[in-house]
């Protein structure tokens, strides 16, 4: 079976000779890379729609320019192998994450193409044959770059669409079931309340406790479903990270053999919807605690500044980690590895992150154990009201 | 003298009865209605110190009950119980003049505490 890279290279006609030609072209074009990156981002910042994807101000633009120079560098140098493909695929995925409309990728490649052409014309204009060959090689490279980015973009947005459709379906079912279950749960709870005043033996009271606790567990599931279905935009406010985490932890039952560690700089604050974030923290810590329940271990809740644009909330443990087969799908609703799991916990975490215009990632730590990180924008997007 | 009279309106008969029983144990005098229409009829018959009502009912929903209470008294506390209300409905309920809102499923001890708090210090007319 041919890979996408082989397939599209054959279609475009990009081959070994192009790779070789681009490599010899590299020293000719490299001195202009930085100027081209400056020009590229000047174009983006002039464009209303495109520059909205950049939320981190000048520092982010500087970082993106360095990335663009590295991109030009590796594009010309090659090798145009699987690693090259993977790096380009990541750029496509990143564009989906930041919500960059794909027509901007096409126009962005157009800007790069014009600049490459201008530099080649200037440097090789005296040698028409060499110039034309260089232009053809660069064109094929850019076609290849674009094809990979758009392909990844399409696959990733299809994934997202599927997940959103699934969430919407769950949402509709949840709203109905949620409403229908709340009354029966209310009846059970209020009956237990009345019985508590009538029953006076320990055994009866113990069972009433069990009924009350299980009703609460059901309520939590219903609440999680309804939260997932909630379409309301988050109500952002600036809150003390430590207080937020501590409030959330009150809602998690932690057995003796599991230790919790909170790792937050003195007065770190976050710009979040308190209710949503608490729910996300509860879900993450509950997952970690359940993973450790048998053998015990450590759960760390860390909040730190990720970069100029994002704060990071990370929860990790030293348990068995995610099942590697499940890892790519852990955020999908109704996907769970626990027999008693609802498959809603991490779906809700991702939904909370996305409603904050952030992202959530899950991975297994090199040292062992699971890690989930939520990146939350530190600032409101420009023009948005608090 | 009882600590107060309460009208409980919910189309789930078991829930309305249970809440009534829980409040009666605390000494409140309770009446029950299972839809907006019969609640409004009861409000026309006599006055209550406090009204607890569900939102989604037919015929006539909780908003109609709130409006019926308010047309007779500006001060009678009205507690709205709801499982899943949209922003619009909550807004409507606020405008109609609810005093407090509790999420379903209602925690009975919290509801009892809320009723007591609302009626505490309310002078008998």
| Distances A232 to A133, A228, A360, B88 between C-alpha atoms, Å | 56, 10, 20, 12
Overall CATH class of domain B35-119 = alpha beta
- Distance separating alpha carbons of residues A99 and A329, to the nearest angstrom: 21
In this prediction, residue A49 has a pLDDT band, given cuts at 50, 70 and 90, of low
Of B18, B83, B87, the CB nearest to A187: B18
Strand arrangement, sheet containing B29-33: B29-33, B5-9, B50-54, B78-82, B100-103
Chain B residue at shortest CA distance from A219: B105
Per-residue pLDDT averaged across A48-71, rounded? 79
How close B120 comes to chain A (CA, Å)?
A: 22
**Residue of B56, B84, B108 with shortest CB distance to A189:** B108
- CB contact A172 to B (< 8 Å): no
pLDDT digits (tens, 9 = 90+) for A106-163: 888 888 999 999 999 998 889 988 899 999 999 999 998 888 888 888 887 787 777 7
CA distance B15 to B17: 5
Q: What is the mean pLDDT of residues A75-95?
A: 83
* Averaged pLDDT, B4-19: 95
B83 shares contact with chain A (CB less than 8 Å): yes
Q: Of A31-35, B34-38, B100-104, which gets the smallest average pLDDT?
A: B100-104
pLDDT for the residue A16: 87
Give residue B123's pLDDT: 44
The pLDDT tens digits of the residues spanning B57-71 come to 888 999 999 999 999
Report how far residue A379's alpha carbon sits from residue A309's, in angstroms, rounded to the nearest whole number. 7
pLDDT at residue B124, rounded to an integer: 43
- CA-CA distance, A169 to B23, in Å (whole number)? 39
Cβ-defined contact of B18 to A232 (cutoff 8 Å):
no
Q: In the beta sheet, which residues pair with residue A355? A: none
* B9 within 8 A of B54, measured Cβ to Cβ: yes
Residues 45 to 84 of A: which have CB under 8 A from any B CB? none
Question: What is the structure's pLDDT at A145?
Answer: 87
Rounded to the nearest integer, the mean pLDDT of chain A is 84
Residue A125 has, within 13 A of its CA and on its CB side, a CA count of 7
pLDDT-derived band at B107 (thresholds 50, 70, 90) equals confident
pLDDT for residue A293: 82
User: If you write DSSP's letter for every residue of A101-168 in order, what string do you get?
Assistant: -THHHHHHHHHHHHHHHHHHHHHHTT-HHHHHHHHHHHHHHHHHHHHHHHHHHHHHHHHHHHHHHHHH
Q: Do B12 and A189 touch (CB under 8 A)?
A: no
Other residues' Cβ atoms within 10 Å of the Cβ of residue A167? 19
Above 80 in pLDDT, residue B113? yes
Q: Determine how many CB atoms are found less than 10 A away from the CB of residue A99.
A: 10
Asked if pLDDT for residue A59 goes beyond 70, the answer is yes
Residue A238's pLDDT is what? 92
Q: Are A92 and A151 within 8 A, CB to CB?
A: yes
pLDDT(A247) > 60: yes
Residue A263's pLDDT band (cuts 50, 70, 90): very high
Domain ranges for chain A: 4-161, 163-229, 237-377
CA separation for the pair A108, A145 (Å, rounded) = 11
Please give the share of chain A, as a percent, with pLDDT higher than 90: 32
Closest chain B C-alpha to A226 CA, distance in angstroms: 8
Instruction: Please tell me the least confidently modeled range out of A191-195, A245-249, A353-357, B117-121.
Output: B117-121
Listed by start position, the domains of chain B span 35-119
Reported CATH class of domain A237-377: alpha beta
Residue B90's alpha-carbon distances to A65, B76, B80, B98, B101, in angstroms, are 49, 19, 9, 10, 9
**Is the pLDDT higher at A46 or at B83?**
A46
Which tens digits make up the pLDDT trace of B14-37?
Answer: 999 999 999 999 999 999 999 999
**Stretch A28-38: mean pLDDT:** 92
pLDDT score at A385: 47
Cα gap A149→A102, rounded to integer Å: 9
Binding-face residues of A in 198-227 toward B, CB within 8 A = 215, 219, 226
| Spacing of C-alpha A48 from chain mean position | 24
Three-state DSSP state, A48 = helix
Confidence class for position B84, pLDDT limits 50, 70, 90: low
Which residues are CB-neighbours of A108 under 8 A, at least 6 positions away? A40, A44, A50
Coil vs helix vs strand at A317: strand
Cα gap A81→A93, rounded to integer Å? 19
| Better pLDDT: A241 or A48 | A241
Pick the residue with more confidence: A137 or A52? A137
Asked which of A213-222, A269-278, A286-295 is least confident by mean pLDDT, the reply is A213-222
Integer Cα distance of A233 and A110 in angstroms? 36
User: What would the mean pLDDT of B42-52 be, rounded to a whole number?
Assistant: 95
Please compute Rg for chain B using Cα positions.
13
- Whether the pLDDT of residue A174 is over 80: the answer is no
The pLDDT, as a whole number, for residue A180 is 79
Beta bridge partners of B52: B8, B79
A214 Cβ partners below 8 Å, 6+ apart? none
Instruction: Determine the pLDDT at residue A342.
Output: 64
Cβ of A183 and B83 within 8 Å? yes
Domain at A4-161, CATH from 1.10.490.10, 3.50.50.60, 3.30.420.40, 3.40.50.2300:
1.10.490.10
For residue B3, the number of C-alpha atoms closer than 13 Å in the C-beta half-sphere is: 15
- Closest residue of chain A to B55, computed from CA coordinates: A179
Higher-confidence residue: A381 or B48?
Answer: B48
Q: Which of A171, A279, A296 is closest to A229 using CA atoms?
A: A171
From B15, B22, B105, residue closest to A194, measured CB to CB: B22
Q: Cα–Cα distance between A315 and A258 in angstroms, integer? A: 14
């Amino acid at each position: 079976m041919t890979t996408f890279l082989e397939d599209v290279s054959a279609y475009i006609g990009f081959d070994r000779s192009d790779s070789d030609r681009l490599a010899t072209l590299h020293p000719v074009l490299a001195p202009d890379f930085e100027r081209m990156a400056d020009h590229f981002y000047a174009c983006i910042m002039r464009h209303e729609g495109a520059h909205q994807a950049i939320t981190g101000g000048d520092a982010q633009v500087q970082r993106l320019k360095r990335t663009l120079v590295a991109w030009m560098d590796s594009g010309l140098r090659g090798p145009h192998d699987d690693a090259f493909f993977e790096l380009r695929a990541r750029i496509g995925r990143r564009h989906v994450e930041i919500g960059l409309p794909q027509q901007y990728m096409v126009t962005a490649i157009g800007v790069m193409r014009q600049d490459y052409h201008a530099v080649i014309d200037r440097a090789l204009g005296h040698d028409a044959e060499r110039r034309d060959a260089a232009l053809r090689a660069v064109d094929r490279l850019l076609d290849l770059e674009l094809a990979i980015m758009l392909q990844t973009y399409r696959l990733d947005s299809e994934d997202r669409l599927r997940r959103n459709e699934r969430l919407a379906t769950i949402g509709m079912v949840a709203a109905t079931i949620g409403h229908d279950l709340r009354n029966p749960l209310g009846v059970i709870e209020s009956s237990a309340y009345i019985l508590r005043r009538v029953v006076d033996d320990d055994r009866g009271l113990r069972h009433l406790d069990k009924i009350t606790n299980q009703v609460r567990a059901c309520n939590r599931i219903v609440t999680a479903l309804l939260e997932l279905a909630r379409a309301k935009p988050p109500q952002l406010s600036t809150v003390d990270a430590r207080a937020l985490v501590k409030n959330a932890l009150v809602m998690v039952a932690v057995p003796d053999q599991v230790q919790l560690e909170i790792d937050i700089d003195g007065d770190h604050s976050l710009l979040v919807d308190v209710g949503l974030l608490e729910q996300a923290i509860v879900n993450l810590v509950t997952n970690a605690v359940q993973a450790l329940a048998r053998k015990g271990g450590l759960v760390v809740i860390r909040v730190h500044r990720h970069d100029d644009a994002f704060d990071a909330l990370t929860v990790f443990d030293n348990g068995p980690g995610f099942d590697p087969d499940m890892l790519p799908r852990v955020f999908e609703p109704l996907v769970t590895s626990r027999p008693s799991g609802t498959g809603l916990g991490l779906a809700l975490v991702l939904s909370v992150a996305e409603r904050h215009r952030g992202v959530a990632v899950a991975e297994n730590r090199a040292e062992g154990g699971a890690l989930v990180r939520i990146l939350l924008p530190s600032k409101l997007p420009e023009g948005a009201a608090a | 003298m009882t600590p107060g009279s309460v009208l409980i309106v919910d189309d789930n008969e078991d829930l309305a009865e249970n809440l009534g029983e829980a409040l009666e144990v605390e000494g409140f005098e309770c009446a029950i209605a299972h839809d907006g229409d019969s609640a409004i009829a009861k409000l026309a018959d006599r006055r209550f110190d406090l009204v607890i009502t569900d939102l989604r009912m037919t015929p006539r929903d909780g908003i109609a009950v709130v409006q019926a209470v308010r047309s007779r008294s500006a001060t009678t506390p009205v507690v709205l119980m709801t499982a899943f209300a949209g922003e619009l409905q909550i807004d409507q309920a606020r405008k109609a003049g609810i005093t407090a809102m509790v999420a379903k499923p209602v925690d009975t001890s919290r509801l009892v505490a809320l009723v007591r708090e609302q009626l505490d210090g309310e002078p008998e007319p």
